[in-house]
A and B are shown apart, each in its own frame.
Chain A
């Protein structure tokens, strides 16, 4: 705002062009000047590679190979095998995201101070995020399998007589979501927590508040907006579970998530309109969950937390 550069029209403006300089000047006062051309590549990119495919897919989903414009949507909701993928996905993603966020809070609360090895802990936590779901799936198959180390330890401790079945079902996928999602949630919660000014809690302690009161009345309300954002981002990660649902899950039954349904429609039946319809339903459900959480977020305090941010 403060820097309004002279536009070329102004520099070269002879007497015949005062009207043109005028509207350019007026626009420049509102912040529209030739610097905005710098946005063009990014806008072009987002329109061509994100908005156009999105609306193309939306249009395609209303032009099914047979039937009226809504028949692909009707087909999805009419078929129980397809419709249930919504509940399967939510049944995996919601508990996993919730567990990741809830478990992060006490651990981050404990670790927000300075202690030796804090950097090491955060670095170790970044490892599963960078490795990604495909490698985690491969590791889980080895580790949690019937002859894997986890079952061996349980048997050696006499906690169980025969190996527990933990892969190729719901739990395998759930564990893979926790292994990649928990560090993600933890690091975000930790950064939100360290943005809260510690003197606020010390003031409460001076006034005689115990640790639970300090956490409940001071820290938690300030942390709530951050927790809502963390939940959203963790949920997005968990909602798009695809590789682990195929590899450590049971992709034909228990863990047939909605992304598998979309993938099968597109790449096994080559029915692009139907696949687009499923993708649209998937996006809509995800946005509804996020909108609910973000709406709840507006009801919390969202001002400055007094810390370094």
Chain B
């Protein structure tokens, strides 16, 4: 009863059923722990000394300065931005035309091609990352920025194809036919008809790829050299060498990474639905 009326009623109803309390309790418990996880990193990064107490003895911002110089963060952040922007640009250039063909055309072998494009998303990054890194080392790409970019393209291009397909399907094919009737070639159909209509979709998938690339650990970790580490990988190295550096300066670096991700997230949520950040699952096409 409750759910059916809630769906039609726009007013909020306070429901006091045990099942509801249980569900909300679980959600609140989850969020409290999440807050604890993120909050303890934040508090620790500002703390002077924090051993066996609820909160640190005093507060300071010196760990940020320490982390900045100690981990050469300016270089790391520059690399992160370079890698992400290159990956976004290249994966859009490669992915959008392919998504167009896959959304509009039917041709022999289409299902097989679709499956090959889906595979990199369905496999854990370590599985294909190790052979890929071996190949990239063989040809001398790995250890440099180019190797990191190439490795990160592998899950990004399929992701662009998956997110762009519904956007392309929305556009009425008759618009293109009309443009062709008026004498437009393939180039001008793309640049003057499709590109403006697809701009929101491209923006959405660009931001999604950006978020995923900045957060991508495994592939970057396997292919990065000392001067091509992104922020996550630098964070991982500083954490696994714990004990050498002050815990707080590692925390300060983690906070900077969090801040960067949150800024990207806020930008992303202006353009996309939260579920799209998770995955774009292609269901069976509508009959």
Say how far A282's CB is from chain B's closest CB, in angstroms.
5
In the complex, A295 has a CB within 8 A of chain B? no
Q: Are B51 and A188 in touch, CB under 8 angstroms? A: no
Report B54-65 CB contacts with A as 1/0, cut-off 8 Å.
100000000000
- Interface centre among B24, B107, B131, by most chain A C-beta atoms within 10 angstroms, is B131
Closest to B108 in A: A30
Q: Write out, one digit per residue, whether chain B residues 162-192 have a CB within 8 A of any chain A CB (1) or not (0).
A: 0000000000010011001000001000000
- Closest A residue to B281 by CB, please name it: A229
Contact call A3/B173, Cβ cutoff below 8 A: yes
Q: Which residues of B sit under 8 angstroms from A304, Cβ to Cβ? A: 286-287
Q: Count the A-B residue pairs with Cβ separation under 8 angstroms: how many?
A: 281
A135–B262 alpha-carbon span in the complex (Å): 13
> With a CB–CB cut-off of 8 A, which chain A residues contact B33?
143, 150, 179
Min Cβ gap A9→B in Å is 16
Asked if A182 is at the interface of the complex by the 8 Å CB criterion, the answer is yes
Binary interface encoding of chain B residues 253-276 relative to chain A, with 1 for a CB under 8 A from any of its CBs, else 0: 010011001101100010000110
Total interface residues on A, CB under 8 Å, equals 105
Is the CB of B44 closer than 8 A to any CB of chain A?
Answer: yes
Flag whether A19 is at the interface (Cβ < 8 A): no
Shortest Cβ gap from A67 to chain B (Å): 20
Across-interface contacts of B6 in A (CB, < 8 A): 113-115
A31 to B107, alpha carbons, bound, how many Å? 5
**A142, B41: Cβ atoms closer than 8 Å:** yes
User: Are A36 and B107 in contact, with the CB atoms below 8 A?
Assistant: yes
Given the contacts A35-B105, A143-B37, A179-B37, A187 and B274 also touching, CB distance less than 8 Å? yes
CB-based contact B44/A142 at 8 Å: yes
Secondary structure type dominating chain B contacts: helix
For B180, list chain A residues within 8 Å (CB).
3, 5
Residues of B with C-beta under 8 A to A299: none
Residues of A within 8 A of B97 (CB): 38-39, 41-42
**How big is chain B's contact interface, by range?**
35 or more
Say yes or no for A255: interface residue by CB 8 A criterion. Answer: no
Given contacts A107-B27, A115-B6, A262-B130, whether A134 and B20 have CB atoms under 8 Å apart is no
Question: CB distance B278 to A187 under 8 Å?
Answer: yes
- Contact of B16 with A by CB under 8 A: no
B69 CB-CB contact with A under 8 Å: no
Q: Which residues of A contact B239 (CB under 8 A)?
A: 134, 137-138, 247
Interface residues of B in 96-145 (CB under 8 A from A): 97-98, 100-102, 104-108, 113, 116-117, 119-120, 122-136
Instruction: Please give the residue numbers on chain B whose beta carbons come within 8 Å of chain A beta carbons, in ascending order.
Output: 1, 3-4, 6-7, 10, 12, 19-20, 23-24, 26-27, 30-31, 33-34, 36-41, 44, 51-52, 54, 93-95, 97-98, 100-102, 104-108, 113, 116-117, 119-120, 122-136, 150-151, 153-154, 157, 161, 173, 176-177, 180, 186, 211, 215, 217-218, 232, 235-236, 239-240, 250-251, 254, 257-258, 261-262, 264-265, 269, 274-275, 277-279, 281, 283-284, 286-287
Name A residues whose Cβ lies closer than 8 Å to a Cβ of B: 1-3, 5, 30-32, 34-36, 38-39, 41-43, 45-46, 49-54, 56-58, 60, 103, 106-107, 109-110, 112-116, 119, 121-140, 142-143, 147-150, 152, 179, 182-184, 187-188, 190-191, 198, 201-202, 205, 211, 229, 232-233, 236, 239-240, 242-243, 246-247, 259, 262-263, 266, 272, 275-276, 278-280, 282-283, 286, 290, 302, 304, 309
